[in-house]
C-alpha cells in the first residue's frame, strides 16, 4: 500500500491570533487571569479558524497492538492483557470507557496488530497488519511496507470519523519500550533517561529493561530518520496513530494527545511535518519517566499533571472539559462594554498626597 506524508499548511494566521487575543483581553476579567485556559482558547480558535470555536462530535480512538519485544520481559504484564483490555474497552468497563461515556465522547477501538482474533462488532475497527510486531532485538519490529500500511490505515480511519476533534488513546503491552526507543533515537537522549516502570516494574526490572532497550538501539544503528526508527522500534498501534495524527492535522482537527505513547506518535509525526504540533493539545504530563523529556523536546505545555500513567486515552478524556470550557469562554463570556463593567486603568499612576 502506498503512502505519502501529507503537506500541512502553517496555521499561524497572525490576524486571527491578534483578534482572538483582543477578544480574550476584553472579557470581564483582569488580562491574562485565566492563564493557560486563555492560551488553550486561542490555540483551538486558530486550529478551527474561528473567533467562536465549537468542538463537535469528539472522537477518542484507542489504537491497539502487540509487541514482539514483550517476550523479553520488558513489561510487568503478559501480552494477553492487550486483547483482554480490548474486550474490556468494548464492554464499556475500562477507565477510558467510563470517561468517554461521562463526557459524551465517541469511542472507537482499532485492532492495529493484536495477537488475537476479535469478532466484528460496533465500536471495533479491524485493521490488523499482523499478529503483533517482530522482536526488535532480532530485526526491525515491522517492515517498511508494513509501516506504510499502518500509516495509510491511520489516515483512512480519520477520514471516516465525524467531528473536528481527535483524542488519542492506545493499548499494547510493551509499548512504553517502543516509545522510549523512539524518544531516545529521535531526540538524541540516553535510553536510561527515557525508560520508566511502564505497567509497574520494580527498580531491578527497570534496569533489565534499560539493558534490553540499549541492545535494541545498538541492533539498529542506521534507523535514524523518523520512518526508519518507527519501523525498527515501532508498534503497529503507534504507526497507525502517526498516520491518524498527520491526517487530522491536514483536516485541521483539534488533536488531544494523551500520555507517553500517544506523544511518541506525535514525536514521529512532527519529525515528518513540524506543523503537526500547531494542531495538538497535550492533555497531561504522565508519571512515566520519559514523558517530561518528550514534552520538553516537543516544547509542549500539558494541561494536567496528575501522576497518570494508565494510557488508553484516559488523560485526554479527563482534559476534555478544559477544552470545552476554553471555547465557551471565547463564545459566551461578556466583554467589558456588553456587561457595563469598568476596565482596569491603563496604567497604575501613583496618587498625589
Q: Which CATH number characterizes residue 101's domain?
A: 3.40.50.10210
Q: How far apart are CA 68 and CA 220, in angstroms?
A: 16
Q: Give me the active site residues, please.
A: 312
Q: Where are the alpha helices (DSSP H) in 251-289?
A: 260-272
The vertex-264 CA angle with 260 and 267, nearest 5°, equals 135
Asked if residue 224 is part of any domain, the answer here is: yes
- Pair (184, 43) in one structural domain: no
Q: How far apart are CA 101 and CA 349, in angstroms?
A: 53
> Of 139, 142, 217, whose CA–CA distance to 177 is shortest?
217
- Pair (23, 91) in one structural domain: no
Secondary structure (3-state) at 100: helix
How many Cα atoms within 13 Å fall on the side-chain side of residue 146? 22
Range of the domain at 49: 14-54+329-339
Asked if residue 104 is part of any domain, the answer here is: yes
Asked if 202 and 312 count as a contact pair (C-beta separation under 8 A), the reply is no
Domain count for the chain: 2
Secondary structure (3-state) at 25: helix
Ordered mean pLDDT values, 10 residues apiece, the chain (353 residues): 91 96 97 97 98 98 98 93 98 98 98 98 97 98 98 98 98 97 98 92 94 98 98 97 98 98 98 98 96 98 96 98 98 95 68 43
Determine the pLDDT at residue 20: 98
Determine the pLDDT at residue 347: 54
Asked if 172 and 105 count as a contact pair (C-beta separation under 8 A), the reply is no
Determine the pLDDT at residue 346: 58
Question: Pairing between strand 59-65 and 165-171?
Answer: parallel
* E strands present in 222-345: 254-257, 280-282
Determine the pLDDT at residue 349: 47
- Give me the residue label for grid cell 465557551: 328
Determine the pLDDT at residue 353: 38
The neighbour count for residue 332, using CB atoms within 10 Å, is: 9
Q: What is the CA radius of gyration of the chain?
A: 21
Contacts of 161 (CB under 8 A, 6+ apart): 59, 61, 106, 108
pTM: 0.95
- Pair (110, 79) in one structural domain: yes
Amino acid at each position: 500500500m502506498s503512502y505519502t506524508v501529507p503537506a500541512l499548511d502553517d496555521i499561524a494566521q497572525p490576524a486571527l491570533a491578534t483578534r482572538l487575543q483582543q477578544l480574550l483581553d476584553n472579557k470581564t476579567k483582569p488580562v491574562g487571569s485565566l492563564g493557560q485556559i486563555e492560551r488553550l482558547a486561542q490555540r483551538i480558535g486558530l486550529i478551527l479558524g474561528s473567533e467562536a470555536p465549537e468542538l463537535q462530535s469528539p472522537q477518542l480512538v484507542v489504537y491497539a497492538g502487540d509487541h514482539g519485544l514483550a517476550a523479553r520481559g520488558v513489561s510487568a504484564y503478559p501480552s494477553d492483557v492487550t486483547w483482554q483490555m480490548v474486550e474490556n474497552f468494548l464492554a464499556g468497563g475500562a477507565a477510558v470507557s467510563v470517561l468517554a461515556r461521562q463526557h459524551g465522547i465517541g469511542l472507537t477501538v482499532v485492532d492495529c496488530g493484536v495477537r488475537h482474533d476479535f469478532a466484528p462488532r460496533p465500536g471495533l475497527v479491524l485493521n490488523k497488519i499482523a499478529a503483533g510486531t517482530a522482536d526488535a532485538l532480532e530485526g526491525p519490529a515491522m517492515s517498511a511496507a508494513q509501516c506504510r500500511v499502518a500509516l495509510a490505515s491511520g489516515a483512512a480511519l480519520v477520514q471516516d470519523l465525524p467531528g473536528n476533534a481527535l483524542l488519542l488513546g492506545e493499548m499494547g503491552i510493551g509499548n512504553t519500550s517502543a516509545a522510549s526507543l523512539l524518544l531516545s533515537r529521535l531526540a538524541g537522549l540516553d535510553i536510561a533517561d527515557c525508560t520508566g516502570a511502564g505497567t509497574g516494574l520494580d527498580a531491578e526490572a527497570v534496569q533489565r529493561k534499560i539493558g534490553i532497550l540499549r541492545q535494541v538501539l545498538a541492533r539498529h544503528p542506521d534507523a535514524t530518520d523518523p520512518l526508519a526508527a518507527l519501523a525498527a522500534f515501532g508498534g503497529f498501534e503507534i504507526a497507525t496513530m502517526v498516520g491518524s495524527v498527520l491526517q487530522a492535522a491536514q483536516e485541521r482537527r483539534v488533536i488531544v494527545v494523551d500520555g507517553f505513547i500517544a506523544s511518541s506518535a506525535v514525536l514521529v509525526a512532527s519529525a515528518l511535518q513540524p506543523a503537526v504540533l500547531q494542531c495538538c493539545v497535550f492533555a497531561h504530563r504522565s508519571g512515566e519517566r520519559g514523558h517530561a523529556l518528550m514534552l520538553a523536546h516537543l516544547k509542549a505545555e500539558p494541561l494536567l499533571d496528575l501522576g497518570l500513567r494508565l494510557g488508553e486515552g484516559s488523560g485526554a478524556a479527563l482534559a476534555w472539559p478544559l477544552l470545552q470550557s476554553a471555547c465557551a469562554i471565547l463564545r459566551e463570556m461578556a466583554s467589558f462594554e456588553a456587561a457595563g463593567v469598568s476596565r482596569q486603568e491603563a496604567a497604575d499612576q501613583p496618587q498625589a498626597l
